[in-house]
Structure 1
Amino acid sequence: MADERTRKSSARHRSRKCAITYINLIEDKAGPEGPTDQESNKDRMQNLVAYALPFSMGRNAADLSGNRKLGQVFLALMDDPLLSKPIKRYIVFCLLIRSKPAGWLNIARKYVSAMKRDDLYLRHMLHVAIKQFKEEINTEAERLELKELIASVRLRREVNIKVPSTGEIKRTIGKLDAGDFWDEGRSEVS
């Protein structure tokens, strides 16, 4: 009996550890499928998986290792030249905003300003920051800092402002407040 529980527990742990992402691929089988339909469907599935992986990897890294004790390590890693790949920097960004060490907002905004406005990882960063704001436990000061970060990312993506001024950030936060952006279900990332 104990061996059975251990085996089930071990299997659950392995499946949790190996499950990187889940994409619902229910397909409509109403029409005839030709070779081009199968090929385009395969391309669509590959694109969905490729798009979902960075978010999933960042979320899993933050869930497993993102804690306040390691915050200073993540802060130092943001400037490490060995982390020049965008996916690596994105994962450290996820860890950084989860742990929120002193000075995290300045480093995160610096990283946002260094990215191109149409960079896919910038969209993922906005999504992660919104999820951190909405779903994680944050102090009131951390919520204000997350609002500033979200406003900075939106200004970078939508208006192409690399380093927004304090006034621009406050105006953007005011517009988001007026539009009930912070309410549940209203903060869609486009």
Structure 2
Amino acid sequence: MKKTFAALLSVLLIAPVWAQASTWSKSLELDALIVELKQHYASDELSELKQEKMTQVDNLSFFIQYIDKPDTPEYKLLKAYLWGVQQTHIDSNYQQIQTNVVPWFCPKGGPLPAFSRNADNPTQFIENLIWETLEIDIQRRPNNLPKGKGMFKPMSGLIRYGLQIKYPCYDKVPQAHRVGTWAY
């Protein structure tokens, strides 16, 4: 009995380590885009509106600027925002499935997995989703972000788009279900 309990306890304690998503491995194209965006964000030629957007935690520019600066208050604010968004989508998806409502994104095998706040990086899932979505957008529309309004888009649309293309419910997402001007 003691051996069984000890084995079960050890599995429970190591489960969060192997259950975590690994860090997204960025392509050379995405790395180049990030460098280009950071240079643009540092420009003195930005309008007041764009400068204001760069201070909003739910803006892509805020994410790009601070996701790699863990010793800043902005990073902590960003991580709190990402945790909230991640939990909201996980909980919403779970609730839709439990109540037999067709969700707007459909993970294979059931609802999205839950993540512990005590994990090394509890927001790794949503961070990876953002990077993966940007990778897909680079492939589908190579000049969208560096030259357009996309570099100052709200994160909410990017995340919803990412969930739809990573976990589609349809072979082709119906026009009425599509998010903004993203390429499907």
Structure number with greater CO (CA < 8 Å, separation at least 6) is: 2
TM-score, length basis structure 2: 0.33
Which one has a bigger Cα radius of gyration?
1
Give the structure with the larger helix fraction.
Answer: 1
TM-score, length basis structure 1: 0.33
